A and B are shown apart, each in its own frame.
Chain A
Amino acid sequence: MRNFLNVAPTTVLVLVLLALTLVAFGMVRSRAMASVGGDSRKLHSLPNYYGYNAALFTAIPSLFVLVAWLLIQPVVIQNAVIEMIPQSAIAEGSSVSLVMSDVTRVANGLDAAVQAGAIDADRARNLSSNDTDVRALLAESGVALGSDVSPEVLAAAQRYRSMQGTGRLLMIAIVSTIALAGLLFAFRVTTEKFRARNMVERFLLSMLIAAASLAILTTVGIVLSMLFETINFFKLHPWQDFFLGTTWAPNFRGDSELSILPLLWGTLYISLIALLVAVPIGLFAAIYLSEYANGKVRAFAKPLLEILAGIPTIVYGLFALLTVGPFLVNLFGRGENGILGVDWMSGATSVLTAGLVMGIMLIPFVSSLSDDIINAVPQSLRDGSFGLGATHSETIRQVVLPAALPGIVGAVLLAASRAIGETMIVVLGAGAIARISANPLEAMTTITTRIVSQLTGDTDFASPETLVAFALGLTLFVLTLGLNVLALYIVRKYREQYE
């Protein structure tokens, strides 16, 4: 609810801007028409372009400033307020960011209290912790605080509120000025000679470029967001332990051992089993579908196999946890009561469980990529082989597959990158125990599961136990990116060969 209050004036501003844009369109279009006495043939561009031009000049710069303002204002305010908090106000075991979250909570609470009518705006501004119990006051209006409000926090919260209020007013003023200036500019330049279409098209083109650059921005965002937190992590935790240690034992009281090696082992082991399942099945399925199957079988089996790729991973996760896991326990565990009469497996979560299910998920991935690649092998190679008297299978093994090999390797690498980055199947099926062991019937854990467990629930961004997730994420990103680039390189190089 409190966030709704923060957004409301912005929403109104956006609506006003939209209305202004419509007005600009109508006004400038009619001005253009008036300038030639209603004879649109005398205009340089079609009349609508004059309107579009005005609408763009009104809406785009102002909206751009608005978005930038909304992004920057919180940071500026936060930095200003943090300076107000003296070192002494930060309790033992606490941190600036925790105090800061207290400050925002109190400030938002005061906003909510004013909104609810519990106190009037004047009193909220001049509240001091000496004469009122702020915590009780806020509790009345539905804002629960973890502890009593210290005078420093209250003062900071007041500053926060006043800066936010001023910032909002300033934003409204500046954004509407820019919109009006844009409108005025478009109005002024509109004459019969004005090249409105060229202007609009240049504008549109720059917007198209901006949209295309978002891809770069996303990548930069991914890398930067993880890089900064990873650097913070390595300031708190030695990198030697992260890369070279052998134990993963996070301990939220501090003194954790956070090494990636056991996680990496679990990840690679599960991926290996998944590939051992997916690659033979997928490859043989692709060979059969592209070399042997007639049209009917192909039209029937190919889409059905591809359904496996469209099923959400959470479904596979549940399948691993509740169906495959218990089945494997029946097979390999439970001693005398089990199917094999052995007692090698105790829990449903294991490397084998997750690996098998992930393998099923990857079958269509391998098969449809390999199918494309096998189909791209020129028919003349096959014909040559048949002409020499080779059987169909000999042709496939000795001519088609060697020719398609680089592409198939690329497909397998892409599948491997999928397997390494897969989350839900391993979260539900692989278990949570970090260990380096060769027994596939034991539970192990992976990089992705640890990211999930370190970042869900209450997180404190000042502790290495939380920040390690970013280092893990960056490692995962680099790992999968490397595999993808390698795979794409191999596939691309191979394609050029035959085209």
Chain B
Amino acid sequence: MTDLPDHTQPQRSLLQQDARTVKRNRAEKRFKMYGIVAIAIGLLMLAILLVTIVGRGTGAFQQTFLTLDVQLLEAKLDKKGDRNIEDIKKVSTFGYAPLMSAALEAKVATLGIQTELKPKAMADILSKDAAAQLRDFVLANPDLIGTSVEFKFLTNSRVDGYMKGRVSRESIANDKNINAAQLDLVDALHAAGALQTQFNLSFITGADASDARPEAAGMGVAMIGSLFMMLVVLILALPIGVAASIYLEEFAPKNLLTDIIEVNIANLAAVPSIVFGILGLAVFINYMHLPNSAPLVGGLVLTLMTLPTIIISTRASLKSVPPSIRDAALGVGASKMQSVFHHVLPLAAPGILTGTIIGLAQALGETAPLLLIGMVGFIASNPPDSIASGLLAPNSAMPAQIYEWAKRADPAFYERAWGGIIILLVFLVTMNAIAVLLRRRFERRW
């Protein structure tokens, strides 16, 4: 027999934890810390991502321009002198290059800049697109021929990179597009105030440009392509999605067919987007012979992709309308169809709208299916001139355009890709903000 333990005296203070409790408490703290670290990593990644996008992309909205006084010589641009627009159009961009080169030479002389460069080499600091810019300006204002105009020319992407700090004197050692003497000229022109970096609207409104002219590339036409695709998605996916949801939620009997449809929709929502691209290529382009690269086809593919999302959210908002509403409508003699269309649907409308906007935002950022139906790999140079050509003429879309720039492996295009992402994200944030506002403003708790 052992003695009973002496309970009159506590063996230790309650305030003092024993070794095991200390260990358990430490494990508790550690575990909690893991959670905090996990969230911190997630938020840190978001922060890095956003900082990278903003940091690398804002440069695309700025562009370096060179201000020159150009003599629009009548002898070169309009030999007959009657300002016939057809005659003026016959002068190609090659006809404008000497004017610009002369203007640059004159500018350098007036400013008293010393340089050993030949006029041709000097003109190389201008963009290859500058002559086309000037030509477009003259075609729009033929009356100015014969006068001297002050004009802001785009500079070469290397000059632009130099002004923004992307290109340094070391990094151009093996660059055929620019040399140190040209950079000296750029520095001098910048010091004299002729060369400036300023906001560049044409990045937002303009069209894509060829590989050699990153400074002239813009998102505008791709934005229009995206707009037309979103129109197609909205016109098709919203009514079809709502109709399907109404049937499944309000009318469908519980039978095998309904079950199959429901499982189908759940699975379609998780099918990889590229598979929808394959479907689009096989059905819309190969079988139905719709034109390649057309926003209509892109819209159709994205419609099929967005439908499950819209159906799922519409069903949720139909479900949230209380049965009492339906019962009341049926009670005063409405048919089932009338109770749904006159009472349930209007009450569910804000939720449906929110779901649709979120589905559209998803479709707007989707790239993979667009690659397969050919919305990359060409230069979408002109904005469409009618609704039909907007739907059927080859165009790009915002994410496809970003991918196209990312593929070109030129830092100047990378900058534009990041800039394009900023524009894309602005659209997505706006759409999601509208969805959140709608939900806050109209959502009813029953």
Is B35 within 8 A of A288, CB to CB? yes
| Cα-based distance from A335 to B372 in the complex (angstroms) | 39
Is A423 within 8 A of B271, CB to CB? no
A238 within 8 A of B: no
* Binary CB contact string for chain A from 290 to 310 against chain B (1 if under 8 A, 0 otherwise): 011000000001001101101
| Cα-based distance from A289 to B371 in the complex (angstroms) | 38
* Binary CB contact string for chain A from 412 to 442 against chain B (1 if under 8 A, 0 otherwise): 0010011011111001100000000000000
A448 within 8 A of B: yes
Is A367 within 8 A of B42, CB to CB? yes
| Cα-based distance from A496 to B115 in the complex (angstroms) | 82
| Cα-based distance from A456 to B292 in the complex (angstroms) | 11
B113 within 8 A of A: no
Is B268 within 8 A of A322, CB to CB? no
| Cα-based distance from A456 to B48 in the complex (angstroms) | 32
Whether A226 touches B261, Cβ cut-off 8 Å, given contacts A215-B268, A391-B27, is no
A62 within 8 A of B: no
B279 within 8 A of A: yes
For residue A470, which residues in chain B have a CB less than 8 angstroms away from its CB? Answer: 278, 282
| Cα-based distance from A323 to B389 in the complex (angstroms) | 38
Is B38 within 8 A of A480, CB to CB? no
| Cα-based distance from A74 to B289 in the complex (angstroms) | 8
Whether A313 touches B272, Cβ cut-off 8 Å, given contacts A222-B279, A289-B39, A456-B377, is no
Is A423 within 8 A of B273, CB to CB? yes
Would you call the interface of chain B mostly helix, strand, loop, or mixed?
Answer: helix
Shortest beta-carbon distance from B366 to chain A in Å: 7
A219 within 8 A of B: yes
A216 within 8 A of B: yes
Beta-carbon contacts under 8 Å, B33-75 to A: 34-39, 41-43, 45-46, 48-49, 52-53, 56
Shortest beta-carbon distance from A309 to chain B in Å: 10
Is A393 within 8 A of B28, CB to CB? yes
Is A312 within 8 A of B366, CB to CB? yes
Q: Which of B24, B243, B270, B273 has the most CB of A within 10 A?
A: B270
Beta-carbon contacts under 8 Å, A371-393 to B: 391-393
Is B49 within 8 A of A319, CB to CB? yes
Is B243 within 8 A of A3, CB to CB? no
CB-nearest residue of chain B to A487: B270
Shortest beta-carbon distance from B19 to chain A in Å: 15
Is A281 within 8 A of B41, CB to CB? yes
CB contact between A318 and one of B25, B46, B417 (< 8 Å): that residue: B417
B240 within 8 A of A: yes
Is B335 within 8 A of A312, CB to CB? no
A317 within 8 A of B: yes
Is B39 within 8 A of A288, CB to CB? yes
Shortest beta-carbon distance from B91 to chain A in Å: 23
For residue A291, which residues in chain B have a CB less than 8 angstroms away from its CB? Answer: 35
Is A212 within 8 A of B367, CB to CB? no
Is A318 within 8 A of B270, CB to CB? no
For residue B277, which residues in chain A have a CB less than 8 angstroms away from its CB? Answer: 455
**Which bracket fits the contact residues of B?**
35 or more
Is A215 within 8 A of B244, CB to CB? yes
For residue A172, which residues in chain B have a CB less than 8 angstroms away from its CB? Answer: none
CB contact between A71 and one of B27, B288, B417 (< 8 Å): that residue: B288
B177 within 8 A of A: no
Whether A3 touches B392, Cβ cut-off 8 Å, given contacts A225-B279, A310-B432, A315-B421, is yes
* Binary CB contact string for chain A from 323 to 342 against chain B (1 if under 8 A, 0 otherwise): 10000000000000000000
A234 within 8 A of B: no
Query: Which of the segments A112-120, A122-130, A203-211 contacts the partner chain?
Result: A203-211
Shortest beta-carbon distance from A55 to chain B in Å: 16
Is A485 within 8 A of B267, CB to CB? yes
Is A215 within 8 A of B371, CB to CB? no
| Cα-based distance from A205 to B248 in the complex (angstroms) | 11
B140 within 8 A of A: no
A284 within 8 A of B: yes
CB-nearest residue of chain B to A356: B45
Whether A360 touches B45, Cβ cut-off 8 Å, given contacts A212-B243, A421-B271, A421-B272, is yes
Is A318 within 8 A of B243, CB to CB? no
Is B28 within 8 A of A208, CB to CB? no
A276 within 8 A of B: no
CB contact between B271 and one of A222, A225, A305 (< 8 Å): that residue: A222
Is A305 within 8 A of B43, CB to CB? yes
Q: Which of B24, B266, B282, B291 has the most CB of A within 10 A?
A: B282
Is B417 within 8 A of A481, CB to CB? no
B424 within 8 A of A: yes
CB-nearest residue of chain A to B375: A456
Is B368 within 8 A of A423, CB to CB? yes
For residue A292, which residues in chain B have a CB less than 8 angstroms away from its CB? Answer: 32, 35
B100 within 8 A of A: no
For residue A488, which residues in chain B have a CB less than 8 angstroms away from its CB? Answer: 266-267
Is B283 within 8 A of A225, CB to CB? yes
A121 within 8 A of B: no
Shortest beta-carbon distance from B219 to chain A in Å: 13
* Binary CB contact string for chain B from 273 to 300 against chain A (1 if under 8 A, 0 otherwise): 1111111011100111111001000000
Query: Which of the segments B9-17, B159-167, B181-189, B303-311 contacts the partner chain?
Result: B303-311
Whether A215 touches B264, Cβ cut-off 8 Å, given contacts A285-B39, A455-B372, A480-B271, is yes
For residue B246, which residues in chain A have a CB less than 8 angstroms away from its CB? Answer: 208
Is A423 within 8 A of B337, CB to CB? no
CB-nearest residue of chain A to B52: A323
For residue B311, which residues in chain A have a CB less than 8 angstroms away from its CB? Answer: 215
| Cα-based distance from A319 to B251 in the complex (angstroms) | 47
For residue A283, which residues in chain B have a CB less than 8 angstroms away from its CB? Answer: 38
Beta-carbon contacts under 8 Å, A35-79 to B: 70-71, 74-75
Q: Which of B30, B39, B268, B361 has the most CB of A within 10 A?
A: B39
Is A422 within 8 A of B45, CB to CB? no
CB-nearest residue of chain A to B386: A4
Is B252 within 8 A of A212, CB to CB? yes
CB contact between A1 and one of B239, B243, B389 (< 8 Å): that residue: B389
CB-nearest residue of chain B to A11: B388
B203 within 8 A of A: no
A477 within 8 A of B: yes
A183 within 8 A of B: no
Whether A213 touches B274, Cβ cut-off 8 Å, given contacts A285-B39, A317-B403, A393-B27, is no
CB contact between B247 and one of A104, A211, A280 (< 8 Å): that residue: A211
* Binary CB contact string for chain A from 219 to 238 against chain B (1 if under 8 A, 0 otherwise): 10110011001000000000
Is B34 within 8 A of A452, CB to CB? no
Is B368 within 8 A of A216, CB to CB? no
Q: Interface residues, chain B, CB within 8 Å of chain A?
A: 24-25, 27-28, 30-32, 34-39, 41-43, 45-46, 48-49, 52-53, 56, 239-241, 243-244, 246-248, 251-252, 260-261, 264-268, 270-279, 281-283, 286-291, 294, 304, 307-308, 311, 335-337, 361, 364-368, 371-372, 374, 376-377, 388-389, 392-393, 399, 402-403, 406, 414, 417-418, 421, 424-425, 428, 432
Interface pairs (27), CB distance under 8 Å: A8-B388, A74-B288, A75-B287, A197-B335, A205-B337, A208-B246, A209-B247, A212-B248, A214-B307, A215-B264, A219-B268, A222-B278, A284-B34, A287-B35, A305-B42, A312-B366, A313-B367, A314-B365, A322-B414, A393-B27, A393-B31, A423-B273, A428-B403, A452-B274, A473-B275, A480-B271, A484-B266
Given A301-B39, A314-B399, 17 other A-B residues pairs in contact with their CB atoms under 8 A? A4-B388, A215-B268, A221-B279, A225-B287, A226-B282, A282-B38, A305-B42, A317-B367, A319-B52, A322-B414, A396-B31, A423-B274, A424-B403, A455-B372, A456-B377, A480-B271, A488-B267
Q: Interface residues, chain A, CB within 8 Å of chain B?
A: 1, 3-4, 7-8, 11, 70-71, 74-75, 104, 197, 201, 204-205, 207-209, 211-216, 218-219, 221-222, 225-226, 229, 280-285, 287-289, 291-292, 301, 304-305, 307-308, 310-315, 317-319, 321-323, 360, 363-364, 367, 391-394, 396-397, 414, 417-418, 420-424, 427-428, 448, 451-452, 455-457, 461, 469-470, 473, 476-477, 480-481, 484-485, 488
**The 10 nearest A-B residue pairs measured at CB:** A421-B272, A288-B35, A312-B365, A225-B282, A284-B38, A211-B243, A393-B31, A423-B368, A208-B247, A212-B244
